[in-house]
Amino acid sequence: MSKTIRLTAAQALVRYLGAQMNEAGEPFIAGVWAIFGHGNVAGLGEALHGVKDSLPTYRGHNEQTMAHSAIAYAKQMCRTRAMAVTSSIGPGATNMVTAAALANVNRLPVLIIPGDVFATRGPDPVLQQIENFGDGTVSANDCFKPVSRYFDRISRPEHLLTALPRAFRTMTDPADCGPATLAFCQDVQAEAYDYPESFFEPRVWFQRRIRPDEGELARAVAAIKAAKRPVIVAGGGVHYSGATDALQSFVETHNIPIAETQAGKSALAWDHPLNLGPIGVTGGEPANSVSAEADLVLGIGTRLQDFTTGSWGLFSNPEREMICLNTAAYDAEKHGAMPVLSDARVGLEELGTALQGYRAEPVSDTLKAEWYGKVDALTDAPRDGNALPTDMQVVGAVQRASNGDTVVMCAAGTMPGELHKLWKAPRPGAYHMEYGFSCMGYEIAGAMGIKMAQPDRDVICFTGDGTYMMANSEMASAAMMGISFTVVITDNRGFGCINRLQMGTGGAEFNNLLDHAVHETPSAIDFAAHAAAMGATSVKVSSIAELEDALAKRGEIKGPYVVVIDTDPYPSTEYGGTWWEVAVPEVSTRPEVNEKRAAYEVAIKERNTK
């Protein structure tokens, strides 16, 4: 007869978390972010206290942003480790729905444990309970269903016996990886059950490396051998598979250039001869020009979102073939691509073996030199000391202050486009961009998560004033925890990139920059003072030279360090890029809109005939 141990369901859950290991022998769950409320403080709160020496609990200031920290941690660890997050029911839970969606889009693991209503329904409606007039089984946590890769409701203690292994299978599966949500009824958290001791024995979750099907591999090899001008689109899956060395060996052996997505950037060093740099809407001329002419596109670990493909208008060679090497069939077969269902590292190795002797035609060696000849000038310090700096000049200043251990990160606004085009990443892991969900508010929390994942790295976060205003509370968490990273706040007094998009589609400047909104009192936010009030060391600078001086001091500062600089909201890098489909109104009284609509219709027709 198997031995049992009597535990509350909450105690059983945290004991199970502590027993799940990765291949390196580390706990897969590195810690738990928690904001307690009546839906989880008595059950999970007591259980987490009991294991605080082995499974640390971190207190956040906002449920969404603490989940962002957990997700950034997993991303920087290339999905080899993850974190859990727990909240009370009601608004605490629904605050995490945005973070779950972010993790889902980016294929990143996080265990979300929101408190739920009473399984007994005795006190219905309990505080913060959402009541569905036609369905008694619904709670606020049902919002997680469409944004979770696995969802379960723990309404009996023994449900954990099946739910927890399923959740971990999801988080550690390369194809299904994403958020797992266990809505935990608050009364069940406190209920005891006789659990089998074997349930808590340590388990190692190995990374499954799917080998390509022989037929898919053969068809892909034949297509590549027939190609003269192939190009590789390297996505985030290259990093998650640990395939950066395999990619470098593959491209050098077969002379195939690569283009990098936002998630794939830094797969090869920026100055590698076969790295054409960024692709797509925020891409550069080398990658986009070669991709437009390519007779074969090999996507590796990419989900081919519209910024990568130019809304599927970029790959314009009528003879073009497309192959997608991916662990997920959903991604591997997009837009009729020839699928190779495989782990990136293994797939590259087996493709390389089968392609012995094949080398693509060389790409012009002047493309990159011409590109950097144009854009390097944009990142230089301004000659006119009275002019507002541009975002490109801020990127240049941070680049000059960076080193081999620097990780730059961002998520939304102007900087993702500028960084994708301009940042020179020296090695894998040096560039961390959340551009799947492009979630404003990820930045500061994400920077903290990156630093927790890799404490020895020099983490620099780019954020605009708009994003800072959306979510800055984890600055206080970082200050209290003594987590050191640098935040560069570019204050362009509004949502600069959307203002430019508004103008670019023929619209009048409206409701984006603060100067164009109706306010009784003009905005005059002192971001440096605000950050300092939360415990950060902060300074406002008035020039690129002062920014460089401030950045040079970051190694001396413990905790978060914030540097604020005013920037011009209008300029952006004009070079590079490609068309992006944004619907323009078909009817308008504005001639500018009608002109942009006509151009839009032409672009749609061109795209649809390719």
**pLDDT at residue 1 tops 70:** no
Give tens-digit pLDDT for 137-193. Answer: 999 999 999 999 999 999 999 999 999 999 999 999 999 999 999 999 999 999 999
Confidence grade of residue 8 (pLDDT, cut at 50, 70, 90): very high
- Find the DSSP H helices in 434-555: 442-453, 465-470, 474-481, 496-504, 527-533, 544-552
The number of residues in the chain equals 610
- What the block records as the tokens of 211 is 């080998």
* CA distances, 306 to each of 95, 288, 315, 334 (Å): 27, 14, 12, 12
Token code pair at residue 527:
């971001």
Give residues with Cβ within 8 angstroms of 373, minimum separation 6.
none
Structure tokens at 63: 């449920």
Tell if the pTM clears 0.85, that is, is over it.
yes
Residue 386 has pLDDT above 90, yes or no: no
Alpha helices in 343-487 (DSSP H): 344-354, 367-375, 391-401, 415-422, 442-453, 465-470, 474-481
Domains delineated in the chain: 4-204 (3.40.50.970), 214-365 (3.40.50.1220), 370-566 (3.40.50.970)
Q: What is the pLDDT of residue 387?
A: 84
- Residue 91, pLDDT > 70, answer yes
Beta carbons of 263 and 289 less than 8 angstroms apart: no
> Over the stretch 422-442, which tens digit does the pLDDT of each residue have?
999 999 999 999 999 999 999
Beta pairing, strands 230-234 & 296-300: parallel
pLDDT at 123: 93
pLDDT at 384: 65
Task: Give the other-Cβ count within 10 Å of 426's Cβ.
Answer: 15
Residues of the chain with pLDDT > 90, as a percent, come to 96
Structure tokens at 285: 């001329």
The whole-number pLDDT of residue 385 equals 67
- Average predicted confidence (pLDDT) for the chain: 96
pLDDT at 369 over 80: yes
| Predicted confidence band of residue 383 (pLDDT cuts 50, 70, 90) | low
Cβ neighbours around 583 below 10 Å, total: 9
